[in-house]
């Protein structure tokens, strides 16, 4: 036991990793030129980038006053201030994640989750080769057709609990949902989140070109499912090792809780798509759902409150990570180097052959996503720039959008600055270093697939 404790203590905390990235961003403000693009209605104006003169002296490290309008590197004081500012910037997401943790605490207390998982596993007789592909296909379809992402935060603890029930790790439960969602965003067949911004900026109708994207979606989905099943086999899963009651029946109370949850999820999807609910609205909805499920489960006020708080405690550390991750963008913006980095990344595309240029667009988006993990935010910043570059190099508008989707989606599987990914990790109680080691092989395969698909798109004149 002492050996396990020692090895656990030697692992690098994800908080330290993120703080290291924050200080690296501070260092970059001393190395990279400051600059800015002009913007109209939040959209970058192509060709408007201008370098801003700034004082790079190390005396700025101990500067006590804000830089103001003058371009200067970020001081140590501003670096530490960036952390609470990051919390403030993503406060809506952080609170929502906490509330979801509380909701799952109530679901656990009701006993309906354990009973329903046993009933589901009994119905398929523990056959993960059937269960996993079906679940991943459903999640991926919701993502690629409707743009569902944060809506799955409530689902992840359920799938993790299912994985644990059959002796699998939290990583497998997380991967079943996360890989499926990222596959959906990679192809974005009719995903309104990126397409409603990216496609109009390059002059093509929203949702056009869906046929080829759907074909690519199927390829990514098959590869993603195969990877998850391979990792399940690597963990040594065997049906014979799992005690499953095939005759188990749910109680009336459990059925009522599950039906309430199902209706709640349907309401969540409707609210997100029809009324465009954001974090505050979603948090209020989750609180309402928590109260409703508590009543249906027969929990008294004290039981419900204790279960809710216990659920929140489990993901408190991850909420800390979300806030620290947001500090990276705060530092880059304070040093006025974010636009400079965007300009530098897009300049690698050049004016080469269309297939090479499409690859350059893809690579620039891969790298840019570490700084701007928001899909819609990245589209607003980069698409007005790479659209004209694509035209000059012979890359069609649809292929330009495809390169953007691939670059944004693939990096979002891994980037530690993504609030949504960190929220997923929080819901599954999985650390970022652990997730990174698990997902890197699939990440590399997806990059190779993306390059091949972009070459195919260029060759067929997509």
Query: What's the chain's length in residues?
Result: 462
Number of structural domains found in the chain: 1
pTM of the model: 0.78
Measured CA angle at 54 (ends 53, 56), to 5 deg:
140
* CA gap 197, 443 in Å, rounded: 25
Report yes or no on 305 lying in a domain: yes
Report yes or no on 192 lying in a domain: yes
Report yes or no on 118 lying in a domain: yes
* CA gap 190, 196 in Å, rounded: 9
Report yes or no on 3 lying in a domain: no
* CA gap 359, 365 in Å, rounded: 10
Report yes or no on 33 lying in a domain: no
Report yes or no on 380 lying in a domain: no
Main-chain phi, psi angles of 54, to 5 degrees? -145, 160
Report yes or no on 52 lying in a domain: no
* CA gap 186, 405 in Å, rounded: 6
- Residue-by-residue pLDDT tens, the chain, 462 positions: 333 333 344 456 677 888 888 999 899 999 999 988 887 776 677 778 888 888 888 888 887 666 656 788 999 999 999 999 999 988 988 898 889 889 888 988 988 877 877 777 777 777 888 889 999 998 999 899 888 887 788 889 889 988 988 889 999 999 999 999 999 999 999 888 888 888 888 888 888 999 999 999 999 999 999 999 999 999 887 766 666 655 667 788 989 998 998 898 888 878 877 887 888 898 999 999 999 999 999 999 999 999 999 988 877 877 888 888 888 888 988 888 888 887 887 777 766 678 888 888 898 888 887 777 777 777 777 788 788 778 777 889 999 999 999 998 898 899 888 888 988 998 898 988 899 999 999 999 999 999 999 999 999 988
* CA gap 354, 461 in Å, rounded: 10
Report yes or no on 378 lying in a domain: no
Main-chain phi, psi angles of 70, to 5 degrees? -75, 140
Measured CA angle at 383 (ends 220, 369), to 5 deg:
55
Give the range of the structural domain holding residue 219, as residue numbers without chain letter: 91-319
């Amino acid at each position: 036991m002492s050996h396990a404790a020692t090895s656990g203590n030697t692992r690098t905390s994800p908080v330290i990793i993120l703080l290291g990235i924050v200080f690296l961003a501070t260092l970059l403000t001393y190395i990279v030129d400051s600059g800015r693009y002009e913007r109209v209605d939040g959209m970058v104006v192509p060709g408007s980038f201008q370098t801003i003169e700034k004082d790079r002296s190390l005396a700025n490290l101990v500067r006590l006053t804000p830089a103001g309008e003058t371009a200067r590197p970020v001081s140590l004081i501003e670096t530490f201030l960036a952390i609470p500012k990051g919390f403030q910037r993503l406060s809506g997401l952080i609170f929502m994640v906490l509330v979801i943790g509380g909701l799952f605490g109530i679901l656990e207390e009701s006993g309906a989750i354990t009973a329903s998982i046993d009933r589901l596993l009994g119905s398929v007789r523990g056959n993960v080769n059937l269960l996993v592909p079906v679940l991943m296909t459903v999640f991926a379809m919701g993502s690629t057709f409707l743009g569902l992402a944060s809506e799955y935060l409530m689902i992840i603890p359920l799938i993790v609990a299912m994985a644990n029930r059959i002796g699998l790790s939290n990583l497998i439960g997380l991967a079943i949902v996360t890989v499926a969602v990222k596959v959906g965003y990679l192809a974005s067949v009719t995903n309104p989140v990126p397409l409603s911004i990216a496609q109009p900026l390059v002059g093509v109708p929203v949702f056009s070109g869906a046929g080829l994207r759907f074909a690519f979606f199927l390829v990514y989905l098959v590869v993603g499912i195969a990877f998850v099943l391979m990792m399940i086999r690597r963990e040594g899963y065997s049906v014979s090792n799992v005690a499953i009651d095939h005759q188990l029946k749910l109680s009336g109370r459990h059925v009522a809780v599950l039906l309430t949850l199902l209706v709640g999820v349907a309401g969540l999807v409707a609210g997100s798509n029809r009324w465009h609910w954001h974090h505050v609205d979603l948090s209020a909805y989750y609180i309402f759902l928590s109260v409703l499920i508590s009543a249906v489960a027969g929990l008294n006020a004290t039981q419900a409150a204790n279960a809710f708080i216990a659920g929140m405690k489990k993901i408190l550390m991850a909420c800390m990570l979300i806030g620290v991750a947001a500090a990276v963008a705060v530092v880059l913006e304070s040093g006025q180097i974010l636009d400079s980095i965007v300009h530098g990344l897009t300049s690698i595309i050049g004016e080469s052959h269309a297939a090479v240029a499409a690859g350059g667009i893809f690579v620039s988006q891969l790298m840019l996503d570490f700084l701007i993990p928001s899909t819609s935010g990245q589209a607003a910043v980069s698409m007005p720039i790479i659209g004209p570059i694509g035209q000059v190099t012979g890359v069609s508008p649809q292929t330009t959008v495809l390169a953007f989707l691939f670059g944004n989606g693939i990096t979002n599987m891994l980037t530690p600055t993504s609030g949504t990914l960190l929220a997923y990790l929080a819901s599954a109680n999985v650390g970022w270093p652990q997730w990174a080691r698990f997902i890197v092989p699939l990440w590399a395969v997806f990059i190779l697939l993306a390059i091949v698909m972009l070459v195919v798109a260029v060759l067929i004149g997509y």
